[in-house]
Structure formats: structure tokens, C-alpha cells
A and B are shown apart, each in its own frame.
Chain A
């Protein structure tokens, strides 16, 4: 079922994308462990199962493009190239965290890597991302603002206000709905009336499509198509990613709203395993090459864990810093 799709990536590039997907998977598994061990507190929303979305989109991104998302953001900031040590140290609430331990799992940012968070209020990142797109256009920058939102946000009023403004003012924005089928514990069928979610943007004149978000190659193809559309037409575009989270909404989610069978069935199309199989079967990549990558990542994750636990707690004087500039 994993047919080789049209793409212009070299094997080296594809291996880099695989490496990133595998990094996110292992990072999140480690985060789950550390949460269980009480080293990570509060809310912790894992990205496991959705890796093909962020890396597929990454394959279409120029380094100058900007990204914003909601609170399931670990995968996104790692994809953007931020050091996993800094990300994990934020999760453990330490001094070396990317937000100095003051943001937490949901609030991580990196201007250098064009990552604008990390936002905890469902839907709020969408007008913000449209505003970042506004800034790109205002400054005549050839950049696209990538705005991620979940299926849950698609019933939030400000999202439609943002669609209207993005289309009205012809802003360079790519909306990416990560439809993982559940807004917390409420299935999409119990929360969203009408047809496909992305069609809700088309009434504002935004073109879009729905894509198999478990398959890196499909996501990548669609993302490249979207980029070309936005660059050519100077208008926003929307992609709905059909995806799934293998873990709960957050670490404290007992998952009573879906069956084990359903989850297991979705794991048969695990995006990381599928990409690996495709690389092995369709791209003449040797198993050893992949094994080397994987063992490097596993080793890296050990270092990340160690670093994030050895980094000191923030200095107490940090309580009052950065309230104002």
C-alpha cells in the first residue's frame, strides 16, 4: 500500500526526514516515562502517531517560514530543529529549558528557529498565526506562516474569524488541521456537524484538501502543492490531515472513550513504521543504514534524559523576571 509517490527528494534527504520522525517518537516515549516517574509535571500532550504530519509539512518548508501550533507541540519544536535537550529540560521544568522552565510542555518558542509556540488555549494560535502571516506580507517577505490546529479547534469561533481575515486580506498562511479524531475525549462525530472539517474554510474562499496524514509521502506531496498555490496566488490554503494519536489526550487521560481495538487497528498504519518500510522496499535503502540512525537517536535520547534531569531548577529570582521587557 505504500506506493512510491512522485517526489524529488534524494535518499539522504528522505533518511533525514525519517530520522526526525524517529527522534520525535523516541523523545515522546521518553517523555511518557519521565512523566510516569514524576519528573515531568502538569499537562503533557504526546505527539505519538502524528509524526508524518509535522515531518511531511517540514519537507515543504523553507528555513525562513514560520510555524505556530497549540499545546501538542513537542514534535513541532523538534521538527523545527530546536535542540531536544532544551525541549526536554523545559518539560522537566529546569533552568536550561527552552523557556527557562517558565513555560512548560505547552509553551515553547524559538525565534531563531521561527517557531512561535506552543499555545494552551484551543483555537487562540490561529488568529496569532494569521497575524504572523500578516507580518510576512506587510514586510514583503517571501515566507509562509504555517498554522496548526486540531479537530477540536475547528468548532471554535475565533478560528472562523481568522479564516475570514486571512482570505479577505490575502495572507500567506497554510492552515493544517491535525484531525486526530478526538478533541480530548469527544469524538469528531459528537462535536462537529456537517461535512469535512476543511470544507468549513472553503466558504471563506480558502482552497483546501484532505490528506492521509499517516503517510509521510502523501503529506509531503500535498504540502508542496499547497506551498506552490500560496506562492502563486498569494492566498491562504488549508489541508486537513487524517491522523491519529496513539496515546491519550494528555498523560492523565484514561482513554475510556475509544476501544483498544480501534487504537490497535490504527497502529497497523503507524506512520514511523510505514515510512521505514517504504524506504526499505521502494528506495533501496539498506536495513543497516536505518539501524545506525535508530541507534544514534536512542543514544541521543539517553543524553537528552540525563541533561534534562541534571539541569538545575530555575533560580528563584526568575520568578519576577520577564514579566515586562
Chain B
């Protein structure tokens, strides 16, 4: 029997073989622990699927980035013949997703990191020491640095402390700051969100994690009616310095109730700041700015981006101002606007767009509310064409509003209709092919670019 590297989380594509707990020749029974596998979220135990003898170990312990479904050992099960297969050495496995088609995530020819390093913002004067880390680590650093700087900052949410965070974002923070400042809550969003807002009214600076933003719906009254409105209706007396954060949008195959983008919901509300970073660098700089901001901030992360790496400054003073978008690629022919995961979708489509001989401006909004209107209009007035890409449902979406803003501010500069590539107006399906179809894809983005450019 072949032992394959299993998928141990919805988003796992590769894993690391931390340790073998058996050696060749050992007898095992079903359920015995064979190995420790490190996934994108945790270190898990791999159990023997049957009774038998460990025939061959095919992947050495310490091997990293093993693709899901790679054979890692052979188990001789009584009454079963075993095929002889040669030992394979895995240095770095080829990156293909399980169905061999376009990867679900972010394997693009043009890396976010190289684009970011060329932007005006980052090619500037600051001589900071930088390290290539994942968005998960970047968020963790941001929280740790701000908690060190300000004792009023504390973190609460489901599984943020002893479990190390459902998505490992808060890993190690309990050990560093103790249970007074890193608190596991009951599964009680309405209650703990209200509690966090009350603590903020009394002057503390909570970071309130939602395991996913889908669960924030349980607490949306507190976010909208208590957090967003108190400053205004108290005539400036009560401000609410709080950050609501967690993964937003569709992850991978987690179904309708766990896959939804709430950018349009929260950006509708006066009094809320809404942030949606697309990469590790922005995530760190913006989360730090959000924690320091005296207003309620809804900080929307994306699970599929947690593992993506870019260069990130290691400095306490590294802040990215709220309300500033980033022109991550400068072109001349069309303005493509995205945020969070949709920036990656745009980059996935970029080679096909360039093949058409089109050189686009690509704007990563980063901050949804307040919006960097100046950056958008400047680009549109240059290119005269706009495509907006958003993961959320298209109906009454943020993209619709953005398109309104552009037409009312740049009407005389537009050479074409504005096209919006949005998520389809259906609850997120579970089946892999349908889920893919429900989200914006390369073909749709390229067709939109062709249409605004009058290329048939």
C-alpha cells in the first residue's frame, strides 16, 4: 500500500516531513502514528491506514515542500502484493494543483515581490533591513511589535491563544504576552465583539479576531451600530480604537457559508475604515497603522494569501498610511484596479494581457475606505480605460460604486465603458469546477481588457 502525503487542510498544497516515527521494517497497526507533517496551519500526525509492515520510506525526514499526494512510504499489508518502485528524490516538487489546471492560488510568472520592489513607494530612500516572509508572519510581526509598544493593545478571539490561531497568524503571542493580553474567547461573536468595543470605548485598543469574517455576521450589529457610530452620535466624546481582523473571501472548497467577501458590506458604513491588503509587506505596514488608528478598522485578510511571501521591513517604524493605494505596475493603455486576492488574479492574467500588446497600470487599492481617489483618477485620465476586478458578488458591490466614482470624476477622459469583473451572484458552490467558475478568472479579465480596448 502506498502512503501518500495527505491534504490536511482545505488550503494545503504542500507539506514538510518533520519527522518519521517509524523505520523500515517496523510493524504497525492501523492508527499508529507514522510521521509528523507540517502543514500551512499546524504540525499534524500521519496515522497508518492499515495493519502491516513499513516496507520502504521514500521521503527523508526534513524534506520540505512535498506536494500533496506524493508517495512518501510503502506499507506491506498482509495479503497484498507490493509493486517495486524506485526511490524518488524530492528536491522541490513541481507546482501543480490537484486537478492539474490553473492553480487556485498565486503561482504567477510575475511575482508580487518583484513588482513591489520596483514601486515608487519601495524603491525610495529608506535603508531598512528587509526579510522575505509570508503574510501570516507579517501579520504576526505587526501584532507583536504593536503589543510591545503599547500595553493597551490586546488580542482576543476564538483559538487565538492556546491553539496558536486557527490560521497560525497569532502563533506564539500567548507565550510572549500572557493570558491577560491574548485571550481565547468562547464561540460567542456577538458577546466578545461587544465586549471588545466596550473595552475600546473605555480606552483600550483591542484586536478582535474573527476566525473568518463569515462569523462577524453574528456580531455585525455591534460593529455597525456600536463601533462605527459612537463617535458621531456622542458628538466626538466616545471614540472606538479597535481592529477587527481575520480572513475574508473565498478560501478553497469550504462552501457557501464560509466563502464570502464582505468588502461591500463594511465599506458601506460611515465610521468604519476598511483595509484589504494583497501581500505581506502591505499587510504588516497597514495592520500596524490600523492598530494605531483611533477609529474602528475592519482589516480583511485572505486565507489563500497567508502563505505568500514578499520582502518585509523588520522595523518598528514601518507603517503604510491608511488611504493610500499602490500603483504596482505602471503602463499606459488601461487601468486595472484590484484589492486583496483580486490583485493576484490580475497578475495571473498579466502575461496574457501583455501578449495582446497592452501595457496596463495596475492599482492595488489596499485601502477601500478611505479610498485613494487621486491615484485612481490620475491613472484613468492617462489610460482612458478601466477594468475593476473584485471577488465579491457583483450585485450592488464596491466595484459598482468605484465605477460610479470614476465615471463621475473622469467622464470626459473615458474612451470606453468601465467593466467590472466580479464574483458571480450565487452562493459559493462546493464543487471545485463550480467554485472556480464563481470567482473572477483570467479569461474574464482578459476579455474585459479586450473589450475596453476594442480588440476583438
Contact = CB atoms under 8 A, between A and B. Distances in A.
B188 A161 contact: yes
Contact of A325 (B188, B190, B195, B294): B294
B130 interface: no
A321 B226 CA distance: 18
Given A100-B235, A109-B237, A323-B231, A161 B192 contact: yes
Interface stretch (A41-49, A120-128, A226-234, A249-257): A120-128
Contact of B202 (A110, A135, A325): A135
B63 to A, nearest CB: 44
Interface in A142-159: 157-158
Contacts of B237: 98-99, 109-111
Contacts of A169: 183
A247 to B, nearest CB: 24
Nearest to B295: A324
15 contacts: A68-B198, A99-B233, A108-B234, A116-B201, A117-B230, A118-B234, A121-B225, A124-B194, A127-B193, A128-B194, A135-B202, A160-B191, A168-B186, A324-B295, A325-B294
B198 A127 contact: yes
A133 B234 CA distance: 20
Given A117-B230, A138-B180, A325-B294, A128 B192 contact: no
Interface of A: 66, 68, 97-104, 107-111, 116-121, 124, 126-136, 138-139, 157-158, 160-162, 164-165, 168-169, 321-325
Nearest to B206: A131
A101 B232 CA distance: 10
B191 A164 contact: yes
A162 B186 CA distance: 11
A124 B191 contact: no
Interface string B180-213: 1001011010111111111111111000000000
B222 interface: yes
Q: Which 7 A-B pairs have the closest CB atoms?
A: A131-B198, A127-B194, A161-B191, A100-B235, A135-B202, A128-B198, A99-B235
Contacts of A128: 194-195, 197-198, 201, 222, 226
Please indicate which of the listed interface residues A136, A322, A324 has the most CB atoms of chain B within 10 Å of its own CB: A324
B194 A102 contact: no
Nearest to A107: B233
B221 interface: yes
Given A109-B238, A127-B222, A161-B188, A135 B203 contact: yes
B190 A322 contact: no
A102 B271 CA distance: 14
Nearest to A99: B235
Contacts of A127: 190-195, 197-198, 222
B450 to A, nearest CB: 40
B232 A135 contact: no
Please indicate which of the listed interface residues B183, B201, B225, B271 has the most CB atoms of chain A within 10 Å of its own CB: B201
Given A111-B238, A130-B191, 18 more contacts: A99-B237, A101-B235, A102-B233, A109-B238, A117-B230, A131-B200, A131-B202, A138-B154, A138-B199, A157-B190, A158-B194, A160-B191, A161-B194, A164-B188, A322-B236, A323-B270, A325-B239, A325-B295
A324 B191 CA distance: 25
A124 B195 CA distance: 10
A132 B201 contact: yes
Contacts of B362: none
Contacts of B226: 119, 121, 124, 128
B274 interface: no
Contact of A131 (B180, B201, B230, B295): B201
A123 to B, nearest CB: 9
A131 B271 contact: no
Contacts of B188: 161, 164-165
B233 A158 contact: no
B337 interface: no
A324 B273 contact: yes
A325 B231 contact: yes
A99 B238 CA distance: 10
